[in-house]
Amino acid sequence: MGQRADSTTSGRSGQDGTPGLPRSPGVRVQEVLREDAVPPPPVLLSESQEDLGTGDIPTEQYTSREWLDLEMERLWRRVWQVACRVEELQTVGDHVVYEIGDDSLIVVRSSETEIKAFHNACLHRGTQLRQSGGKVKEFRCPFHGFTWHLDGTLARVPCPWDFPHIDAERFCLPQARVGTWGGFVFVNLDPDCEPLETYLELIPQHLGPYRLEDRYKAVHVSQVVPCNWKVALEAFFEGYHVAETHPQVVGFFDCDVQYDIFPGARHTNRLIMLGAVPTADVEAMVDEQVMIDFIQAATGVPEQYRISELQPGQRARTLLADQQRRTLSDRHGADLGGVSDSDMLDQIQYSIFPNVIPWPTVAAPLTYRFRPSGGDPHQCLMEVWFLYPKPDTGDHPPVGKEIRLAPDQAWSSVEALGPYGPIFDQDMPNLRRVQRGLRAARKPGITLSRYQESRIRHFHRTLAEYVGSDRP
């Protein structure tokens, strides 16, 4: 069980009409989606491929401090980044501290209608104004007491007689750019950056039907892990590893995954992994009733909604989707009656370059975020959010506080992660071993597949456009 089918050169054409890449004969995402009783959003009923070649990715991009320094200067100070969720900034004065490398921002609701991001340093002698988020009425330096209003304008200077050279109207906290979409708050350190609207490319069109602005961050778990931020991100960019790393799921999730690279899109790509569909090479060995029983146990279905026996002519996928709609409607207090079968069962990922992976479905409502940690190319901060639907009552559930795991603490120790906790625990040894192997390797590059790791190739093409391979 778990062996992947051999590749074939039959392929399928992309949206631009180019010949398709080699594909596993088991890939049948589009066939399954088109047969669903409650169809998915039209954006899922298409494939888009691009041949990104077969060249290796230089190993130094994962191990070199020089490369990380280039990323900090040329990438992180130029791209739009997800700093937080809007629901974390509900009332005036609510703020979070967002840090990347040496840069630190205070992202604050400065008024009922506006969110701002200020560089987190006092203009007197550079003291960090805030070390953590919370709620304040003003920003006051703990060293000497210089104080700014929430809109960044100067409020007070201690002993103003000794600072006649300060122009109060110009002594404002420097700002980063801020934008919002889908309930996410984005920041950009480059004052001349492109608008968020164009940076997001296809994201609003493709994720619009999922109404992420009507979600809230219910769970937030993080851990500093011993690998480069790209090693961690790329581990979740493909389903190629699932059969080997997570063999318990091959009878219940189709490891022959659809990967999409969209024409002209630099900042996003996609993965679709079918649920309640066994991987092709074990399909003949998987009884649909066994699949139903396994999924019910894994998702904690209430007794009143359990499927006791599959009747002749019934499809497990259709029944499980309907069961999920009723179960999750009760759990979240939201009417999910019209939500698609795919939304209830499948694992769907989009990327927001460089470091965020939203899973927009209700049944798998994850968002990943990866960042360098401490200026060390061999460690990063990995974060997992769960974005649940807001209840139909209009009440705003409490936002989940960040749970920071110790370096050796299991993700499965966090009950709120449910069945994903043990999955992450299976992934963590790979991250450590990849980073250790890269440091020991004598081969100067990593070798990727053409199709199943095409999202990684696409990511590195865009990364190269920002960072480049030249040296200053």
The phi, psi pair for 315, rounded to 5°, reads -100, 130
pLDDT over threshold 80, residue 390: yes
In the listed set 197, 224, 240, which residue is the last one of a domain according to the structure? Answer: 197
- pLDDT value at residue 282: 78
- The answer on 347 and 253 residing in a single domain is yes
Q: How confident is the model at residue 15 (pLDDT cuts 50, 70, 90)?
A: very low
Rounded to an integer, what distance in angstroms lies between the CA atom of residue 162 and that of residue 149?
Answer: 21
- The answer on 354 and 239 residing in a single domain is yes
- pLDDT value at residue 92: 98
The fraction of the chain above a pLDDT of 70, given in percent, is 94
- The answer on 416 and 313 residing in a single domain is yes
pLDDT over threshold 70, residue 271: yes
In the listed set 180, 197, 214, which residue is the last one of a domain according to the structure? Answer: 197
For residue 178, give its domain range: 81-197
Asked if residue 12 belongs to a domain, the reply is no
Is 401 within 8 Å of 414 (Cβ atoms)?
no
The fraction of the chain above a pLDDT of 90, given in percent, is 81
- The answer on 33 and 113 residing in a single domain is no
Q: What's the token pair of residue 52?
A: 């990104």
pLDDT over threshold 90, residue 468: no
Asked if residue 71 belongs to a domain, the reply is no
Q: What's the 3-state SS for the chain?
A: CCCCCCCECCCCCCCCCCCCCCECCCCCHHHHHHHCCCCCCHHHCCCCCCCCCCCCEECHHHHCHHHHHHHHHHHHCCCCEEEEEHHHHCCCCEEEEEEECCEEEEEEEEECCEEEEEECCCCCCCCCCCCCCEECCCEECCCCCCEECCCCCEEECCCHHHCCCCCCCCCCCCEEEEEEECCEEEEECCCCCCCHHHHCCCHHHHHHHHCHHHEEEEEEEEEEECCCHHHHHHHCCCCCCHHHHCHHHCCCECCCCEEECCCCCCCCCEEEECECCCCHHHHHHCCHHHHHHHHHHHHCCCHHHCCCCCCCCCCHHHHHHHHHHHHHHHHHCCCCCCCCHHHHHCEEEECECCCEEECCCCCCCEEEEEEEECCEEEEEEEEEEEEEECCCCCCCCCCCCEEEECCCCCHHHCHHHCCHHHHHHHHHHHHHHHHHHHHHCCCCEECCCCCCCHHHHHHHHHHHHHHCCCCC
Asked if residue 218 belongs to a domain, the reply is yes
- The answer on 331 and 427 residing in a single domain is yes
- What is the pLDDT averaged over residues 43-72? 96
- The answer on 327 and 270 residing in a single domain is yes
CATH of residue 209: 3.90.380
- The answer on 156 and 112 residing in a single domain is yes
**pTM for this entry:** 0.93
- The answer on 280 and 227 residing in a single domain is yes
Query: pLDDT (tens digit, 9 = 90+) per residue, 67-126?
Result: 999 999 999 999 999 999 999 999 999 999 999 999 999 999 999 999 999 999 999 999
- The answer on 213 and 192 residing in a single domain is no
Name the domain count of the chain: 2
CATH of residue 154: 2.102.10.10
Asked if residue 236 belongs to a domain, the reply is yes
- pLDDT value at residue 251: 83
Asked if residue 97 belongs to a domain, the reply is yes
Query: pLDDT (tens digit, 9 = 90+) per residue, 260-269?
Result: 999 999 999 9
Residue 403, number of CB atoms within 10 A of its CB = 17
- pLDDT value at residue 417: 96
- pLDDT value at residue 230: 98
- The answer on 227 and 124 residing in a single domain is no
- The answer on 250 and 365 residing in a single domain is yes
- pLDDT value at residue 303: 86
Asked if residue 24 belongs to a domain, the reply is no
Query: pLDDT (tens digit, 9 = 90+) per residue, 323-374?
Result: 999 999 999 999 999 999 999 999 999 999 999 999 999 999 999 999 999 8
In the listed set 162, 197, 232, which residue is the last one of a domain according to the structure? Answer: 197
> How many Å separate Cα 115 from the centre of its chain?
22
Asked if residue 69 belongs to a domain, the reply is no
Instruction: Give the residue from 423, 409, 384 showing the smallest Cα distance to 218.
Output: 384
Computed over every residue of the chain, the mean pLDDT equals 92
Ramachandran region of residue 20, left (φ > 0), alpha (ψ -120 to 50) or beta?
A: beta
User: In which residue are the tokens 């700014």 written?
Assistant: 148
Asked if residue 22 belongs to a domain, the reply is no
- pLDDT value at residue 257: 94
- The answer on 91 and 210 residing in a single domain is no
pLDDT over threshold 90, residue 12: no
In sequence order, which residues have a C-beta less than 8 Å from that of residue 276 and are 6 or more positions away?
A: 252, 291, 295, 316, 317, 320, 321, 345
Query: pLDDT (tens digit, 9 = 90+) per residue, 277-326?
Result: 887 777 767 788 888 888 888 777 888 888 888 888 788 999 999 999 99
Query: pLDDT (tens digit, 9 = 90+) per residue, 162-215?
Result: 999 999 999 999 999 999 999 999 999 999 999 999 999 999 999 999 999 999
Q: What's the token pair of residue 210?
A: 């999922």
